[in-house]
Chains A and B, each alone.
Chain A
């Protein structure tokens, strides 16, 4: 599974998508969830939006990781739309022959996703204020 989803994300769906690969000895997960504060300010909810080509950029991130690590199976999905505290924003699941490669590849994919995939976060605070995260520095 690879892409951007307006529907809630499911860890079990992602698990199923990378499980049952006979050459895999370990599956690493990163699950990003919505936190209730940011730099000391109470957050009530947020909205993610994505560029129409976000999936293409995400695919590039995953393809680079496949070249660099011995990946047996990989899934990466990012949520869009309005999310409440505790909801899942992103899941990366990587199956590899062993744990070191699985952790390394999973870490690299989530780091590169954050850096290179055009997705934006609009954060709403308890005091009524709102901001686009990182947009103004």
Chain B
């Protein structure tokens, strides 16, 4: 298990009620499960996360399954809510 930082932006930051937190995770899927697990029953947080995209150390994992995206020790996972520019 790696210790990773989960960083929230915009609506995700508001829904999580924090800018970032630390979780133990082996994959992106684990990290997302961990932060969801800490907010069981929080419908808003889950709804925002369901429409979010992610960056792992600044890079998009694209269409890869979250459970197959391995996280290095000290990695940062960024939660980007649905974009609304323009």
Contact = CB atoms under 8 A, between A and B. Distances in A.
Given A90-B86, A117-B83, A136 B11 contact: yes
Interface size class of A (residues with CB under 8 A): 20 to 34
B80 A137 contact: no
B39 interface: no
A49 B14 CA distance: 13
Contact of B85 (A114, A122, A135, A137): A114
B47 to A, nearest CB: 4
A89 B48 CA distance: 24
Contacts of A125: none
B86 A116 contact: no
Interface of B: 9-12, 14-15, 44, 47-48, 50-51, 58, 78, 80-86
Contacts, number: 75
A120 B9 contact: yes
Nearest to B58: A53
B50 A135 contact: no
Nearest to B48: A135
Nearest to A48: B85
Nearest to A123: B84
B10 A32 contact: no
Contacts of A64: none
B84 A121 contact: yes
A114 B11 contact: no
A134 B82 contact: yes
A119 B12 CA distance: 13
Contacts of B47: 135-137
